[in-house]
């Protein structure tokens, strides 16, 4: 399922127009992104938790040349599925 499929499904399930469903889906994604950028954790009970993990700087290798390269530290988004979501999938 891609984003357009999600918007179509939300529109069908909620009775919203496709344009309104698109604004709602984009609003949810923007809100989650903004919270993570601010260092907050987003907890959706039954669905899962979005958080940010700090990845330390490290050394790697260019697979073509074998040359050592420095990989800078970065923040990585992380998602942990909730119990209800796990139960639905299994």
Determine phi and psi for 28, rounding to 5 degrees: -65, -50
Are 18 and 61 contained in the same domain? no
Tens of pLDDT, residue by residue over 10-60, are 999 999 999 999 999 999 999 999 999 999 999 999 999 999 999 999 999
pLDDT at 57: 96
H helices then E strands: how many in the chain? Answer: 3, 5
Task: Using CB atoms within 10 Å of the CB of residue 85, give its burial: 0 to 12 exposed, 13 to 18 middle, 19+ buried.
Answer: middle
Are 35 and 48 contained in the same domain? no
Q: For the domain that residue 87 is a member of, what is the CATH number?
A: 4.10.520.10
pLDDT at 71: 95
Are 46 and 35 contained in the same domain? no
Are 45 and 34 contained in the same domain? no
Please give the model's pTM, rounded to 2 decimal places. Answer: 0.81
Structural domain including 87 reads 41-90
Q: How many domains does the chain have?
A: 2
Determine phi and psi for 77, rounding to 5 degrees: -70, 145
């Amino acid at each position: 399922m891609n984003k357009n499929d999600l918007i179509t499904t939300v529109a069908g399930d909620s009775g919203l127009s496709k344009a309104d469903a698109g604004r709602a889906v984009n609003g949810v994604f923007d809100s989650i992104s903004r919270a993570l950028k601010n260092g907050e954790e987003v907890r959706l009970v039954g669905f899962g938790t979005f958080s940010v993990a700090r990845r330390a700087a490290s050394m790697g290798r260019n697979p073509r040349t074998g040359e050592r390269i420095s990989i800078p530290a970065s923040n990585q988004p992380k998602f942990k599925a909730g119990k209800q979501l796990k139960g639905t999938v299994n």
